Chains A and B, each alone.
Chain A
């Protein structure tokens, strides 16, 4: 009897009659376990579908979900639910989103928050001076700043600014209370497109109609070189002048990044009016200097675009990052056994997914991460025999039941905003024995990578995650997904893409 376990990312189902899918984690037999299916079939098929049951979302009870075949296979209708496939899909979509949300939070926690917490003390050096600049701009303006990183917020407060600790995805300000919002080097730390959009929407929410927002993010197109991928880990280099690799930050971007995840609103007109001699913010940060032309243009640009708009009022400073304070530790015994195991597995799954984001080594090529094919590991739930010889090889991964998540997705979820990082590749479909052989090969591959992964994780603990933006990406993001914002200007500014947008009234019929 061929046994396998469904982990929630793919499922096995009876291909003969009932198409019934199995709940995550249950041990599956090669014959259909459904009591309703009287076929006692021996054909069970592993299907690249997503099935997530269990802790999908709090309002929904745990339940089995019936799946439809992927389109490519002909898309037969579900025998059990008839035409109710949309419901099924939405359920999956929401559940999937939830899972990825957790993975994204975890990633941000590990590679943004904790890193900044660690390196915050080092920010109080000359490079950091650029940051307070944002807050010191205009005395006529009331500025509020916020950040997730406590040390940085403390520092800002010590400089006399009104600051709060908060999460950029949930800003603690009432609607429409700010005239301007500035987000500098913040959005690019969010690990998924959906979260980036949410952050922008959240900032737009706090803006008054007619108010403006300025967003700065790291550009993929840098002066000397393009980043090869959009999602990268950048080691934090305490010595700005040491000849580290490109992936280590340049002084300019680093300072800006250091300035960081603090977004804030600046009344640049006033600033420039008062202090004409100083270069603009970017200038000072860019050690390579800037041409006078550029700075004049910038000055001119600023004063033209913001002149008439900035009334004085309170400005908002926020850093967006998600602060998921709960730990993903396995549930305590108070949960009932079934739930507990499922939840624990869900969390291991999250760890697995997250682990794809981690580079294999500190300064190694991140290419590896993105080119890897997630192997399919059939772990085991019960201590009984298992056909895989793989559990041992994956010991260095988390948990006793090492489960490599196969993150191949069915077309059903294609429309979701999925994290850019995870390489969505169809996992090899094992069908019976041949598959197993092939899979074991994959698993070997996976296992050799994983030791690096865990090492890399330890070494690379000061790696910061960035999603660098292509030309036009940020503007497009706003235009397509944030209807309350209307893009006014976009430009490139010393390794950053900048977008200025205005809050508009959205009418709903």
Chain B
């Protein structure tokens, strides 16, 4: 599970209103891959992200490095910044771990790189 994916995921347990963002816990296996850097891609993805959630997730994994708390203005031309974002979004991947709903505490396991977001009957 890449952090870009994580940015889109939310808990949908019944009754939960604030199921986003999911907390990444017990990340026992985290990989950092090499992915081709595409500045336009990153530039266009940034507006779609919840920046604070991304930073928080990166921090949980210890991969934040020097990612700023707030978005840098005029990031489109800031290649260094884009590269940092690229790394956090696409190169960091959680292979084993779990995602915790911030409100209910329900944990969604991540195994073999795939988060299992299926709910049980009573949570639906």
Contacts and interface: CB of A to CB of B under 8 A. Distances in A.
A323 B124 CA distance: 10
Given A144-B8, A174-B10, A326-B122, A312 B44 contact: yes
B112 interface: yes
A173 B9 CA distance: 5
A167 B118 CA distance: 6
A1 interface: no
Contacts of B38: 140
B97 interface: no
Nearest to B120: A325
Interface residues of A, number: 31
Interface stretch (A157-165, A278-286, A343-351, A445-453): A157-165
B85 to A, nearest CB: 13
B8 A165 contact: no
B117 interface: yes
A314 B8 contact: yes
Contact of A172 (B9, B50, B112): B9
A104 B4 CA distance: 34
Contact of A171 (B12, B20, B40): B12
B116 interface: yes
A142 B5 CA distance: 9
A314 B48 contact: yes
Nearest to B108: A172
A155 B48 CA distance: 28
A177 B48 contact: yes
Interface string B96-118: 00000000000010001111111
A334 to B, nearest CB: 15
A170 B44 contact: no
Nearest to B44: A312
B84 to A, nearest CB: 18
Nearest to A165: B116
B1 interface: yes
A172 B12 contact: yes
Interface string B1-15: 110110011111000
Contacts of B113: 157
Given A157-B114, A162-B1, A172-B11, A140 B122 contact: no
A314 B124 contact: no
B114 A323 contact: no
A142 B4 contact: yes
A416 to B, nearest CB: 20
B46 to A, nearest CB: 11
B44 A172 contact: no
A105, A170, A313 pick with most chain B CB within 10 angstroms = A170
Given A177-B8, A324-B121, A140 B115 contact: no
B72 interface: no
Contacts of B71: none
B32 interface: no
Contacts of A204: none
A311 interface: yes
B114 A154 contact: yes
Nearest to A179: B48
A171 B122 CA distance: 16
Given A144-B5, A174-B20, A313-B48, A163 B114 contact: yes
Nearest to A176: B48
Contacts of A214: none
A179 to B, nearest CB: 8
A320 to B, nearest CB: 12
A142 B114 CA distance: 16
Contacts of A146: 117
Nearest to A169: B124
A284 B4 CA distance: 32
A422 interface: no
Contacts of A148: 118
A419 B8 CA distance: 33
A166 interface: yes
A468 interface: no
Contacts of A324: 121, 124
Contacts of B45: 142, 313-314
Contacts of B119: 167, 170, 323, 325
Contacts of A167: 117-119, 124
A434 to B, nearest CB: 43
Interface in B4-45: 4-5, 8-12, 20, 38, 40-41, 44-45
Contacts of A163: 114
Q: Which 3 A-B pairs have the closest CB atoms?
A: A326-B121, A172-B117, A166-B117
B8 A325 contact: no
A258 interface: no
A325 B121 contact: yes
A110 to B, nearest CB: 15
B40 to A, nearest CB: 8
